[in-house]
């Protein structure tokens, strides 16, 4: 949020002279009470107006208050990520700020207010604060610390504390008030201050801080310490019940850290810390503060994603490398955060670009042969995977490309709180570092390295620094045009994709045409190879469509674009052409066990054993053949032939899909697919389906929104062969086709889930419409209410059976969409499986079918935790009969919604069901055994 105050052209003068006025001064006396987890604070704040505008109000960040209720920006952010922790929290677990008084230097009370339900305090001054003038504020308040389980900050269960962004700090005014809420993004934007803190805290706690500190003095029942920071942002304090932090005095700086490795001895750790400290000073500059805090807490907020997070007993890296990368990632993040004061919400990409570039640089300098899979790359059965052959630094292109291929990538200039979680945590940081490596490769490593050191030297500890300062610094170090980097790579989400369209050769020259498939006008590299050796290297610029170039021939047998993969290209599978004739340019097939990363030199076919189950086929083992890699691809095939031991025949399925992304929002995707399957629905009775389909998808402008809309057109052809002994039980034609059109609108939110769909079906024998709506609400009282409504009507029905009729509790599933384990069972355990479809009833009622119309409502609400009461009611009507009112009720164990649930009927049209002799057969269950569906439950918050 920006609040603008008018300012004149003299602003530039005042900003340049702001250092003459001095910093804001912040003096805090704080007492931490252990039993109540409260900190009583008396704060004297001297605010200096560095702007050219008179100020009538001042704004302060109060990020501890973000934990106070269920409607803060932090609580809403958690809900977007399917995290109910803060919404369901008990009052004693929450944090809040209680302000007793705010007065000025004349001890005159000042009016103040909380800005809505935000983490901001607005203080109205009694007099206009003129440019260059200062005002003293005296604030008295108490903060109740939240439980650290929410974000890692607050009161720990073991009696320790992790304090960050805990006291009131000044919001930044640079012509606009930069007012940001706490959204668990670690991007507080506050002015630079000279701060002193007198802290009293409980005994038997050990303290570590990013500020300079005095000797701890102890007294009966407590301890006292003074903390000092000059030209600093917020003070971070870690109070632990055990002494886990150690101080390392290196040549360049003093490091306080609790990052360690059990299998890496302390002396070696010290050597590694020295090595990283020397690297940071050499590639950035001297750290201007007395102490650099490098904590495990900070690392856990932004860890080394990937296989580095595996449990220690299977971790693939050598202990030294693992420790140094973990320490480097955390140290460089703290180093930059404490010295370069850019807006971390709007211009975070600059720190990301520098930090991840330095990580890439460190591996190139000290571990040039390090593989991404580490020691696993030498193990038989793994070493032949392309993943195992990738260099460690190739992970940056791999992980940043995940969001590009899913069409959810966002520009580096996107506000930090508008990023999808995967982009915020991983992809955008990797893209920024990869971009710097790309630029370094294009300009020359020395120029980028010099740009970074000059930028750090000239702008560290400056009050207001911008991305434009970084851009101008880089441009000052080169004569080449690099506007493309900032205008195309940084500021947009345009994709980079080139290919060699054609190539001709003579004895002494090579002519080739390079095509820019996406129109993103950036430089592209071209390599000439002889076997696996690079013998020529070129850069080409200004290719907005196609460009033909003629090059001298120096013995190359293959020309490859972006061979070193320094450029994050969308598709590298068409980047090379051979000079050895047409047949040699065909890529070889590579059959490989299990999924792998893309290898641009092969057409990869993956295989993996599979096993499916239903009671008619039993467990059906088989082989799955597919081409899906870790990155999404436009064209996919998936063929899974399996063998039914019960029926002694082949069954299985196959699918082909082509996905076309259009743009980020609005109509963003079109899927063209063709699928077929065959299985058994009764003993010696087979069904087979063929389904061509087209699906259109829409998403809103806000990419953080979980709302999606889909329009599907499909034609389902069904073929059935029926055992002669069962032929008289089949009262419809064995083969039929159904044209199906369905529109679905779903907003998948953990607090307010809403979905509805309109479904139309047409075949030779019937036409029908159906509407379904589902609503889930999690109330402020932590009570959840679930409501579902379903209505269906036949427009035409010439059938003589209930095979195509609407059903109350167990649809016949003539489209074969539902994952029944025993779809034809009318008794026994498998008949008790329920899939909430059509009527959605849980009790098995008499005459459950309707061949005219149906309307039902299903509702449930929680009694205690995952125990719920449910009730269903509705009307249904068949041709030639009266409408009937139906109902049932019972208890639902909602263990994992839609994945594992149990229903215990109590009362229905059948009377009291509980206590009946056959009650065990009336209990219903929902179970999901699809690994893909279950994995989606855990990955949904990331995308």
Question: In the predicted model, is pLDDT for residue 1 greater than 60?
Answer: no
CATH code (residue 207): 2.60.40.1730
Residue 385 covered by a domain? no
- Which of the two residues, 27 and 684, has the higher pLDDT score? 27
* Strand 292-294 with 254-257, pairing: parallel
What's the pLDDT at 856? 98
Instruction: Note the pLDDT of residue 226.
Output: 97
* pLDDT of 3 above 60: no
Cα dihedral angle (720, 724, 725, 728), rounded to 10 degrees?
Answer: 70
What lies within 8 Å, CB to CB, of 109 at 6+ separation is: 101, 102, 103
Tokens 């001095």 sit on residue: 22
Judge whether 898 and 926 are in contact, CB under 8 Å: yes
Using DSSP, state whether 784 is helix, strand or coil. strand
Let me know whether 11 and 85 are in one domain. yes
Mean pLDDT of 592-596: 89
Q: Are 128 and 101 in contact (CB under 8 A)?
A: no
Rounded CA gap, 79 and 84, in Å? 6
Whether the CB-CB separation of 102 and 112 falls below 8 Å is answered with yes
Q: What is the mean pLDDT of residues 754-775?
A: 97
CATH number of domain containing 545: 2.60.40.10
Question: Residue 260 domain-assigned?
Answer: no
Whether 12 has a pLDDT exceeding 80, the answer reads no
Residue 438 lies in a domain: no
CA–CA distance, 431 with 491 (Å, rounded to integer)? 12
- Is 754 within 8 Å of 746 (Cβ atoms)? yes
At 19, the pLDDT band (50, 70, 90 cuts) reads very low
Structure tokens at 784: 């959840």
Tell me which H or E stretch contains 16.
Answer: helix 11-21
Kindly state the tokens that stand for 536. 């020529």
In this predicted model, what pLDDT tens digit does every residue of 391-405 receive, in sequence order?
999 999 999 999 999
CA dihedral 773→779→785→791, nearest 10 degrees, is -20
* pLDDT band per the 50, 70, 90 thresholds, residue 505: confident
> In Å, what is the CA distance from 293 to each residue of 336, 338, 866?
12, 10, 43
- Residues 534 and 608 reside in one and the same domain: no
Q: Say whether pLDDT at 21 is over 70.
A: no
| Helical packing angle, 428-443 and 395-405, nearest 10° | 120
Do 833 and 924 lie in one domain? The reply is yes
Supply the pLDDT for residue 598: 86
Tokens of 295: 């904590």
Question: Both tokens of residue 806?
Answer: 């609407």
CB-based contacts of 718, cutoff 8 Å, min separation 6: 687, 688, 689, 735, 736, 737, 738, 814, 815, 816
Reading the block at residue 656, the tokens are 């082909």
Task: Tell me if 345 is assigned to some domain.
Answer: no
Q: Is pLDDT at 597 greater than 60 in this prediction?
A: yes
Residue 817 tokens, joined: 């969409």
Q: Measure CA 660 to chain center.
A: 22
The answer to whether residues 519 and 609 belong to one domain is: no
Count Cβ atoms within 10 A of the Cβ of residue 27 and give its class: 0-12 exposed, 13-18 middle, 19 or more buried: middle
The answer as to whether 921 is a domain residue is yes
Q: How confident is the model at residue 894 (pLDDT cuts 50, 70, 90)?
A: confident
What is residue 95's three-state secondary structure?
coil
Three-state SS sequence of 655-715: EEEEEEECCCCEEEEEEEEEEEEEEEEECCEEEEEEEEEEEEEEECCCCCCCEEEEEEEEE
Task: Give the closest residue to 175 by CA, choosing from 134, 228, 131.
Answer: 131
Is 452 part of a structural domain of the chain?
no
Q: What is the pLDDT of residues 275-297, one digit of tens each?
A: 999 999 999 999 999 999 999 99
Range of the domain at 770: 747-942
Q: Convert 295-327 to b/e letters by CB count within 10 Å (16 or more is b).
A: bbbbbebbebeebbeeeeeebbbebbbbbbbbb
Query: pLDDT higher for 899 or 56?
Result: 56
**How far apart, in whole angstroms, are the C-alpha atoms of residue 495 and residue 357?**
21
* DSSP bridge pairs for 891: 869, 904
Q: What values do phi and psi take at 508, rounded to 5?
A: -125, 5
Are 836 and 926 spatial neighbours (Cβ–Cβ below 8 Å)? Answer: yes
534, 527 contact by CB (below 8 A): yes
Instruction: Say how many domains are in the chain.
Output: 4
Residues 872 and 755 occupy one common structural domain:
yes
Confidence of residue 696 (pLDDT cuts 50, 70, 90): very high
pLDDT at 375: 87
> How many CB atoms are closer than 10 A to CB 221?
9
Secondary structure letter of residue 535 according to DSSP: E
Token readout for 226 is: 């003074």
The interaxial angle of helices 266-283 and 319-337, nearest 10 deg, is 40
Q: What does the pLDDT read at residue 824?
A: 86
Per mean pLDDT, which range of 805-809, 852-856, 891-895 is the poorest? 891-895
Q: Which residue has the tokens 């670690």?
A: 186
Say if residue 9's pLDDT is above 60.
no
> pLDDT band at residue 312, thresholds of 50, 70 and 90?
low
Is residue 60 in a domain?
yes
Q: 575 and 591 in one domain?
A: no
Q: How confident is the model at residue 2 (pLDDT cuts 50, 70, 90)?
A: low
CA-to-CA distance for 929 and 612, rounded, in angstroms?
A: 10
Which has more confidence, 23 or 687?
Answer: 687
Residues 298-321, mean pLDDT to the nearest whole number: 80
Over the stretch 214-244, which tens digit does the pLDDT of each residue have?
Answer: 999 999 999 999 999 999 999 999 999 999 9
| Side-by-side strand order, sheet with 546-552 | 498-505, 509-516, 546-552
pLDDT band at 928 (very low <50, low <70, confident <90, very high): confident
Structure tokens at 550: 């003629």
Average the pLDDT over 643-651 and give the result.
94
Task: Give the pLDDT mean for 789-808.
Answer: 95
Domain's final residue, options 535, 551, 579: 579
Count of CB atoms within 10 A of residue 271's CB?
12
Percent of the chain with pLDDT over 90: 73
User: Residue 500 and residue 487: Cα distance in Å, rounded?
Assistant: 25
From the number of C-beta atoms within 10 Å of its C-beta (0-12, 13-18, 19+), residue 583 rates as: exposed
Burial class (CB in 10 A: 0-12, 13-18, 19+), 754: middle
DSSP state of 190: B
Asked if pLDDT for residue 932 goes beyond 70, the answer is: no
Q: Is the pLDDT of residue 4 over 60?
A: no
Same domain (yes/no): 528, 616: no
Give 680-693 pLDDT, tens digit per residue. 998 889 999 999 99
Give the span between the Cα atoms of 598 and 683, in whole angstroms.
43
For residues 775-782, average pLDDT: 86
Alpha helices in 563-652 (DSSP H): 582-585
Which residues make Cβ contacts (< 8 Å) with residue 785, sequence separation at least 6?
Answer: 776, 777, 779, 859, 860, 861
Q: Could you tell me if 864 and 752 lie in one domain?
A: yes
Residue 585, pLDDT > 70, answer no
Nearest to 790 by CA among 772, 808, 817: 772
Q: Is 351 helix (H, G, I), strand (E, B) or coil?
A: helix
Q: How large is the C-alpha radius of gyration of the chain? A: 33
Task: Judge whether 181 and 221 are in contact, CB under 8 Å.
Answer: no
Instruction: Please say whether the dihedral angle defined by the alpha carbons of residues 335, 340, 345 and 346, taken in this order, is positive or negative.
Output: negative
* pLDDT tops 50 at residue 188: yes
Q: What is the pLDDT of residues 506-540, one digit of tens each?
A: 888 999 999 999 989 999 999 999 888 899 999 99
Residues 6+ positions from 144 with CB-CB distance below 8 Å: 36, 37, 38, 64, 94, 95, 96, 97, 98
Which residue blocks in 177-307 are alpha helix, DSSP H?
Answer: 266-283, 296-301
Average per-residue pLDDT in the chain? Answer: 91
Residue 612 and residue 572 in one domain: no
Query: At which of 210, 244, 278 does a domain end?
Result: 244
Domain stops at, among 646, 666, 692 = 646
Residues 768 and 629 in one domain: no
Q: Is residue 658 part of a domain?
A: no
Place of tokens 């467990």: 619
What CA–CA distance (Å, rounded) separates 474 from 468? 10
Asked if the model's pLDDT at residue 659 lies above 90, the reply is yes
What pLDDT, on the 0 to 100 scale, is given for residue 751? 86
Mean pLDDT of 595-613: 89
Residues 119, 235: one domain?
Answer: yes
Tens of pLDDT, residues 112-153: 999 988 999 999 999 999 999 999 999 999 999 999 999 999
Q: What is the pLDDT of residue 7?
A: 35
Residue with tokens 């409408």: 883
Shared domain check, 761 and 841: yes
pLDDT of residue 557: 85
Residues 350-372 have a mean pLDDT of 95
Average pLDDT over residues 427-447: 94
Tokens found for residue 58: 């001042």
Mean pLDDT of 303-316: 72
Residue 59 banded pLDDT, cuts 50, 70, 90? very high
User: Which of 327-341, 645-659, 869-883, 890-904 comes out lowest in average pLDDT?
Assistant: 890-904
Nearest to 851 by CA among 905, 808, 810: 808
């Amino acid at each position: 949020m920006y609040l603008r105050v008018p300012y004149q052209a003299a602003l530039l003068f005042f900003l340049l002279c702001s250092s003459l006025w001095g910093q804001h001064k912040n003096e805090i006396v704080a007492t931490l009470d252990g039993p109540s987890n409260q900190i009583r604070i008396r704060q004297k704040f001297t605010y200096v107006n560095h702007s050219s505008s008179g100020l009538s109000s001042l704004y302060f960040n109060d990020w501890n208050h973000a934990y106070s209720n269920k409607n803060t920006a932090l609580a809403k952010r958690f809900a977007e990520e399917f995290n109910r922790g803060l919404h369901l929290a008990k009052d004693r677990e929450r944090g809040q700020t209680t302000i007793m008084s705010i007065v000025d230097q004349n001890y005159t009370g000042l009016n103040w207010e909380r800005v809505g339900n935000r983490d901001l305090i607005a203080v109205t001054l009694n007099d206009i604060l003129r440019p260059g003038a200062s005002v003293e504020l005296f604030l008295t308040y108490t903060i109740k610390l939240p439980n650290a389980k929410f974000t890692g900050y607050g009161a720990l269960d073991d009696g320790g504390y992790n304090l960050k962004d805990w006291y009131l700090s000044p919001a930044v005014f640079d012509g606009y008030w930069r007012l940001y809420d706490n959204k668990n993004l670690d991007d507080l934007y506050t002015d630079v201050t000279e701060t002193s803190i007198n802290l009293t805290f409980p005994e038997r706690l050990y303290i570590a801080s990013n500020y300079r500190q005095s000797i701890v003095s102890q007294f009966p029942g407590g301890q006292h310490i003074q903390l000092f920071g000059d030209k600093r942002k917020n003070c971070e304090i870690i109070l632990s019940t055990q002494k886990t932090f150690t101080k390392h005095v290196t040549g360049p700086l003093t490091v306080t850290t609790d990052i360690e490795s059990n299998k890496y001895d302390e002396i070696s750790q010290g050597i590694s810390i020295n090595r990283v400290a020397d690297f940071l000073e050499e590639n950035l500059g001297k750290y201007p503060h007395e102490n650099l805090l490098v904590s495990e807490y900070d690392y856990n907020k932004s860890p080394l994603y990937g296989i580095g997070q595996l449990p220690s007993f299977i971790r693939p890296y050598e202990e030294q490398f693992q420790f140094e990368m973990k320490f480097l990632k955390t140290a460089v993040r703290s180093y930059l955060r404490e010295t370069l004061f850019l807006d971390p919400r709007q211009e975070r990409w600059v720190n990301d670009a520098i930090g991840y570039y330095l990580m890439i640089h460190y591996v190139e300098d000290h571990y040039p042969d390090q593989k991404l899979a580490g020691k696993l790359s030498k193990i038989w059965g793994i070493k032949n995977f392309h993943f195992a052959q990738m260099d460690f630094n190739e992970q940056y292109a791999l992980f940043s490309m995940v969001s590009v291929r899913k069409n959810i990538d966002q520009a580096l200039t996107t506000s930090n709180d508008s990023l999808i979680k995967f982009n915020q945590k991983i992809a955008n940081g990797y893209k920024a570092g990869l971009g710097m490596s790309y630029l370094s490769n294009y300009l020359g490593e020395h120029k980028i390295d010099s740009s970074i050191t000059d930028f750090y030297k000239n702008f560290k500890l400056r009050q207001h620094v911008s991305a434009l300062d970084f851009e101008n610094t880089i441009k000052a170090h080169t004569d080449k045009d690099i506007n493309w980097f900032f205008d195309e790579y940084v500021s947009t989400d345009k994709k980079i994709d080139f290919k060699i369209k054609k190539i001709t050769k003579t004895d002494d020259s090579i002519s080739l045409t390079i095509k820019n498939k996406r129109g993103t006008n950036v430089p592209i590299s071209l390599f000439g190879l002889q076997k696996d050796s690079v013998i020529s290297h070129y850069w080409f610029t200004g290719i907005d469509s196609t460009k033909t170039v003629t090059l001298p021939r120096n013995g190359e047998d293959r020309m490859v674009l972006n061979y070193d993969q320094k450029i994050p290209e969308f598709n590298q599978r068409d980047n090379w052409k051979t000079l050895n004739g047409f047949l040699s340019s065909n890529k070889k097939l590579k059959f490989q066990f299990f999924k792998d990363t893309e290898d641009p030199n092969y057409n990869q076919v993956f295989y993996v054993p599979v096993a499916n189950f239903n009671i008619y086929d039993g467990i059906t083992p088989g082989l799955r053949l597919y081409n899906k890699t870790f990155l999404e691809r436009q064209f996919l095939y998936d063929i899974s032939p399996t063998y039914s031991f019960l029926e002694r025949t082949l069954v299985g399925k196959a699918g082909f899909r082509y996905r076309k992304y259009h743009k980020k929002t609005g109509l963003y995707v079109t899927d063209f697919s063709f699928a077929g399957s065959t299985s058994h629905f009764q003993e010696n009775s087979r069904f087979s389906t063929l389904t061509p389909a087209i699906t259109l998808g829409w998403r809103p402008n806000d990419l953080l929104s979980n709302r999606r809309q889909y329009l599907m057109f499909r034609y389902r052809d069904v073929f059935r062969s029926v055992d002669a002994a069962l032929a008289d039980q089949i009262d419809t034609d064995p083969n039929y086709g159904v044209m199906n059109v369905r529109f679905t609108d779903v907003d998948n939110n953990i607090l307010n889930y809403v979905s509805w769909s309109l479904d139309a079906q047409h075949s030779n024998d019937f036409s029908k419409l159906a509407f379904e709506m589902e609503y889930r609400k999690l109330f402020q009282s932590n009570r959840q209410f679930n409501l579902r409504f379903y209505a269906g009507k036949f427009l035409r029905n010439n059938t003589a059976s209930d095979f195509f009729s609407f059903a109350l509790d167990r649809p016949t599933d003539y489209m074969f969409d539902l994952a029944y384990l025993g779809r034809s069972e009318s008794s026994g355990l498998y008949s008790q499986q329920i899939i909430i479809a059509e009527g959605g009833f849980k009790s098995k009622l008499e005459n459950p079918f309707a061949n005219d119309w149906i309307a039902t409502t299903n509702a449930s609400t929680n009694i205690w935790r995952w125990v719920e009461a449910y009730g269903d009611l509705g009307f249904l009507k068949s041709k030639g009969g009266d409408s009937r009112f139906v109902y049932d009720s019972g208890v639902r164990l909602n263990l994992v919604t839609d994945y594992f649930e149990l229903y215990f009927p109590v009362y229905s049209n059948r009377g009291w069901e509980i206590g009946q002799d056959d009650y065990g057969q009336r209990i219903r269950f929902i179970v999901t055994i699809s690994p893909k569906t279950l994995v989606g439950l855990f990955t949904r918050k990331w995308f």
